[in-house]
Each structure stands twice: as structure tokens, then as C-alpha cells.
Amino acid sequence: MYREDENPKLTVNFEVYRLSFSSDGKRLSKKIRIKTLDGEILFLGDNNSISVFSFKTSQTSSNSIYYTDDYDNYCDLPFGSIDNGIFDVENESFDKHYLPSFSIKDLSPPIFVVPK
């Protein structure tokens, strides 16, 4: 979700739902809001997303959404691509991947490399 009064638009919340479909798979039968990813990590990128089971590392947190900026005109911004972060689903709190700097202003938004 974005806050409309901010420029550039920054992510201020995520809502996560578990979806159930009819037996033929053609109709949505149930949508339930969830407050945990059951230990999984969700990576949301500009053009794809993936969910993986949590793996033990000091650089990732389970039950979290890692997301990258989808703002097209990031080069016009003072620090470039800035709407990148980590959202803890259970605590509904945000953290940063890294702090932006002028030295990386012209780089495109980050991508995720996920193990097979």
C-alpha cells in the first residue's frame, strides 16, 4: 500500500491473504487475511516474486517480505531507488535493506538472487 500524499510513493503497509479456490480452480472461494508466513520469506521484485522456506542465515528473517522499488523514474530522485525494504509480517514493522547514498543514485532497483 502506498501513501498518496508522499512523493515519491513509499510502501507503508502490506496485507497478506491466503486464497482458496473452487475445486475446478476457476473461482476464488475464500480469502483469509493472515498475520504470519509460517516461517517462509517472500521476495517481491519489480517483475517477479518468489516464496522460499526460511533458511538459517544472519542476513534474512523468516516471516518477512523483502521488496524492491517499482518506481520508474528513480533517476529523478535525489537518492535514486529508495522504496526497498523488509516488512516483518508478524510485527507489522519495516526495516531497510541498506541506506541510500548519492554514489548509487543511477543504479537500477536491486534484484534478488535466491538459492534453488
* Within a domain: 78: yes
* Within a domain: 30: no
**What is the CB-side half-sphere exposure of residue 3 using CA atoms within 13 A?**
9
Q: What is the pTM of this model?
A: 0.71
Which structural domain, as residue segments, surrounds residue 67? 37-104
* Within a domain: 109: no
SS3 114: coil
Tell me what the mean pLDDT of segment 76-90 comes to: 75
**What is the CB-side half-sphere exposure of residue 91 using CA atoms within 13 A?**
10
Report pLDDT for 2: 47
pLDDT tens digits for range 52-73: 887 766 678 889 998 887 655 5
Residue 98 pLDDT level (bands cut at 50, 70, 90) = low
* Within a domain: 42: yes
What is the rounded distance in angstroms from the CA atom of residue 19 to the CA atom of residue 21? 7
* Within a domain: 26: no
Q: What's the structural domain count of the chain? A: 1
* Within a domain: 45: yes
* Within a domain: 49: yes
